[in-house]
A and B are shown apart, each in its own frame.
Chain A
């Protein structure tokens, strides 16, 4: 308590400093007067009396200072003085201040922007109640080590019954429906969930209720919960929609609740859902089919259970299931991931790479400003030496110089925050959709502010320390003797090191950006296997309620294709269940005449797709042999398939695949005859190699949801309205949705790589610019220091060429040192880039050489400017210099 009261007294004093000074002075004055008077009364002469009083009292200035010291506020007074002085110095050199602040604003701003994302995605907890207890449980299979697969209905129910680690488990899968009854039919994307999903997540509806446990079996599952967004856009936010019915896929659903605006449902598959319906709990695939993996599992661990404990229990449970159901579950196990890892795992590596890149950028910016500060303190060397000589404390001087640089960096921090806010906005707009997980919200918060100012403060101290220590280490005598040149030499070393370091870091960044760019070029050069130009695609989904029978579905698509084909400007039209680059579904197959695999897991997997006649022609996927699917491939005719080149090579290498047969691995599958072989397409994205694939005729393997693909003669955008009319001409209640040109789709599929490469290239370009400014500064400073020497050399007949060579050699030394260190650094660090590279090794020699050449060339140009200035030195002027 005592120290507290004491602090109170000290603070009181702080705020009444002038009063305090007056009191003290009056008190001391009185003391001396009384003493003087006493002396006079004792018979001393007046002048003598005053002298005695003074002598006995002591030095009153020092004593007043000491008294003030007692209150312990000196540091604050000095601090205020230093800040005033620092601000004056900065204001006196507006050019220097502006260059430094802009440099720092770039460095700090880039860090602020990237850190905001790192903070939101990696550091902040997910926006759910007790998010640490949320987990996602995947199935692992022996055929695909490392792969994570969805679960099956029966296994899920066993997990629920057997586990002790989890409070609740919820099955979740994507769903889609056409909403009719309110204007244009609207295609919705939603989720089918176990009724307890919201309870597991810890989310409450804003209006109405969430699902009750009995809302699973059919007859009870036509209930729907709407997202806030859909409620607003489709129903105008009317409250009475809750308790009413809406029409989805032609069937009536009771709206039971509305979720709040800020609910960000975890999106493991698909996009942010617009609605939720209960998963159908009496379908065979839910009750009995242990081979059908179709939903992911969100689970909440009990309090006090760790992820490892939960994971261990799930492995045990899986082993028991494998014993009980050997045919389907042998080797099948479970893997528990935290929800946070699940949602952010993909982006975290890239984020750390970007964070490192902006960190490097900031280091370069700091080195540049430290260099500027060094130049400035050299200019003030005489002032500093004089102050040291007359007894100024070295510590106080260091503190003053430091205050100045920290002040500069804080200004840079403020400007950086503004740059960072703008950069973050651009970044979020430029980032590919879904790249930054939709569940997090990125914005500047107190942590980002704290980070920015901490960075500004620490870097300011570091950058200020070098010149400050340098400046005060030099003695006065040395200073006067050497008239600055020795000091300049020792500064030269510090500046050289800083600059070489900048070049090294910039080179590391150039190599990183170069590797990312080369990957991107490789990626864009990938043979797609189809021609996306002039093609537009969109989905059509036939609701069961109106198209219950397969012949109806086939007839619909046949009609539609005929109508679209007849449109003016349409070259050809086709349909398929999946587009390239978009993923799809697969199945295990058995090849005729080849040994049957011993179980389900060792059967080869083949990608499956359903196509209409003309699909290949429309996509310009080349038919290599045999024939296309045709309308004559009716359900009554023998089953046929077109396969891709990879499948033909895999199963029938060195033979003609046409006429060969294969079948699906389920027991009652029929043999399917290969009628044609087409070229490979990239099915899972540009970076994924082609895999075996089989295409079935739509007329034999009917499917209610197909992508309509249309090749147009001149510009696909112009045809969109006409195609939509054709769809509506057949059925007014059908939306044509997710319409997109294939060129857009192809460019979207490389957006992530382009985004990262662009950012890295941008950062590297800024780094390159800053580093060349740095080397320019060093060389031109040294030229100005050596003006006299250069003048003398020229007076003695040195030629322009010699002077130029001399200056360039000095710059080149720094460049070579920096490049050497930079290459080593890049070689050591580049392995952290592996995850963002494609078809380029992290040690790609060509990239390293190119980056080193670029760095050297730019740095030499930066040296050339001051070097040319050196050759213009007039010997007579130079000799009079100083």
Chain B
């Protein structure tokens, strides 16, 4: 059941939504919003749950930044949908964000372990 128990479903850490979207698109190629949301959830085995609508403002911002482009296409069920695809700038941004995230995580881990 995806309605689920709040205790086991974590809000994603702030600032990582972009990272998650970028990573998802890097792996999956062209995707529309619903697919991105599902993908994030599945891969994190339902631990990470995005308030699904909040993908859309993030997607807008990433388009302005030029990290991705969008074009309208058709779904398997023959519905019109907007498909997002990573640009070269987006890949670079992904690397930067991953590197940044690792740094922060390592630092936090160290703090936790030495405590």
Query: Which residue of B3, B59, B72 has the most chain A CB atoms within 10 A of its CB atom?
Result: B3
What distance in Å separates the Cβ of B37 from its nearest Cβ neighbour in chain A? Answer: 7
Query: Knowing A34-B34, A35-B34, A52-B3 touch, does A27 contact B63 (C-beta < 8 A)?
Result: no
**Of A13, A23, A39, A63, which contacts B57 at CB under 8 A?**
A63
Given A31-B52, A59-B53, answer yes or no on A70-B61 (Cβ-Cβ < 8 Å).
yes
Nearest-CB distance from A266 to chain B (Å)? 60
Known: A58-B52, A59-B53. A30 touches B64 (CB 8 A): no
Bound CA–CA A66/B59 (angstroms): 11
Give the interface segment out of B15-23, B74-82, B94-102, B107-115: B74-82
Q: How far is the CA of A10 from the CA of B65 in the complex (A)?
A: 10
A428 neighbours in B (Cβ, 8 Å): none
- Shortest Cβ gap from A275 to chain B (Å): 70
Tell me, yes or no, whether A269 is within 8 Å of chain B by CB.
Answer: no
Partner of B66, one of A9, A23, A26, A56: A9
Smallest beta-carbon distance B57→chain A, Å: 4
Q: Find B56's partner among A10, A24, A52, A56 (CB 8 Å cutoff).
A: A24
A765 to chain B, nearest CB (A): 59
The answer to whether A31 touches B51, judged by C-beta atoms less than 8 angstroms apart, is: no
Contact B57 A27 (CB under 8 A): no
Is B42 among interface residues, defined by CB-CB distance under 8 A? no
Residue ID in chain B nearest A27 by CB atoms: B82
Interface size range on B against A: 20 to 34
Task: Kindly state whether residue B54 has any CB partner on chain A within 8 Å.
Answer: yes
A555 within 8 Å of B (CB atoms) = no
- Nearest residue in A to B1 (C-beta to C-beta)? A42
* Interchain CA distance A69-B54 in the complex, whole Å: 13
| A13 contacts across to B, CB distance below 8 A | 64
User: Which residue of the partner chain B has the closest CB to A51?
Assistant: B3
Total of A-B residue pairs, C-beta within 8 Å:
74
Per-position binary interface string of chain B over residues 13-41, scored 1 when its CB falls under 8 Å from any chain A CB and 0 otherwise: 00000000000000000001110010000
A325, CB-defined interface residue at 8 Å: no
> By the criterion CB–CB under 8 Å, are B52 and A70 in contact?
no
Counting chain A residues whose Cβ lies within 8 A of the other chain, the interface size class is 20 to 34
9 pairs, CB–CB < 8 Å, chain A vs chain B: A23-B82, A30-B80, A42-B2, A56-B2, A56-B52, A63-B53, A66-B54, A67-B56, A71-B60
Contact A9-B52, Cβ < 8 Å, known A27-B32, A27-B82, A30-B34? no
User: Chain B contacts of A68 at CB under 8 A?
Assistant: 60
Closest CB of chain B to A61's CB: distance in Å?
10
Q: Are B60 and A60 neighbours in the complex by a CB distance under 8 Å?
A: no
Give Cα A56 to B53, complex, Å.
8
Cross-chain contact A67 with B33 (CB below 8 angstroms): no
> Across the interface, do B52 and A57 meet the contact criterion of CB distance under 8 Å?
yes
B64 partner residues in chain A, CB cutoff 8 A: 6, 9-10, 13, 70-71
Return chain A residues, CB-CB under 8 Å to B66. Answer: 2, 5-6, 9
Interface residues of chain B: helix, strand, loop or mixed (majority): helix
Whether the pair B57, A70 counts as a contact (CB closer than 8 A) is yes
- Bound CA span A5–B60, Å: 15
Contact with B along A128-152 (1 / 0, CB 8 A): 0000000000000000000000000
Minimum distance in angstroms from A439 CB to a CB of chain B: 56
Of A5, A27, A58, A60, the residue contacting B33 (CB under 8 A) is A27
* Distance in Å: Cβ of B113 to nearest Cβ of chain A: 36
Any B CB within 8 A of the CB of A28: yes
CA distance A317 to B3 in the complex (A): 101
5 closest A-B pairs by beta carbon, nearest first, are A58-B53, A66-B57, A70-B60, A63-B53, A70-B61
User: Which chain A residues (23-75) contact chain B, with CB distance < 8 Å?
Assistant: 23-24, 26-28, 30-31, 34-35, 39, 42, 52, 56-60, 63-64, 66-71
Name the contact of B80 in the complex, choosing from A24, A26, A69 (C-beta under 8 A): A26
> Inside 8 A of B37's CB, which chain A residues have their CB?
31
Instruction: Tell whether, in the assembled complex, residue B63 and residue A9 are in contact, meaning their CB atoms are under 8 Å apart.
Output: yes
Question: CA separation between A2 and B89, bound complex, in Å?
Answer: 11
Is B61 a contact partner of A31 (Cβ separation < 8 A)? no
The residue that A63 contacts in the complex, of B56, B79, B81, with Cβ under 8 A, is B56
- A58-B79 Cα distance, complex, nearest whole Å: 22
Are A30 and B81 touching (Cβ within 8 A)? Answer: yes
The complex places the Cα of A26 from the Cα of B60 at a distance, in Å, of: 14
- With a CB–CB cut-off of 8 A, which chain B residues contact A39? 2
* Given A27-B82, A30-B81, A35-B34: A58 and B60 interface contact (C-beta under 8 Å): no
Asked whether A6 lies within 8 Å of B65 as measured between CB atoms, the reply is: yes
Chain A contacts of B60 at CB under 8 A? 24, 67-68, 70-71
A56 is contacted by which of B51, B59, B61, B72 (Cβ under 8 Å)?
A: B51
**A35: contacting residue among B52, B72, B81, CB under 8 A:** B52
Write the nearest CB–CB distance from B92 to chain A, whole angstroms. 12
Bound together, the chains give a CA A36 to CA B34 distance in angstroms of 11
Q: Which residues of B have CB within 8 Å of A70?
A: 57, 60-61, 64
Of listed A42, A58, A68, A70, residue having the most chain B CB within 10 A:
A70
The interface residues of chain A lying within 8 Å CB-to-CB of B2 are 39, 42, 52, 56
Partner of A27, one of B3, B54, B56, B61: B56
- Closest B residue, CB atoms, query A13: B64
Q: Which residues of A contact B32 (CB under 8 A)?
A: 27, 30
Chain B min CB distance to A22 (Å): 11
15 further A-B pairs in the complex, CB-CB below 8 A; given A57-B51, A63-B57, A67-B56: A6-B64, A13-B64, A27-B32, A27-B33, A27-B82, A30-B81, A31-B34, A31-B53, A56-B2, A57-B52, A63-B53, A63-B54, A70-B57, A70-B60, A70-B64
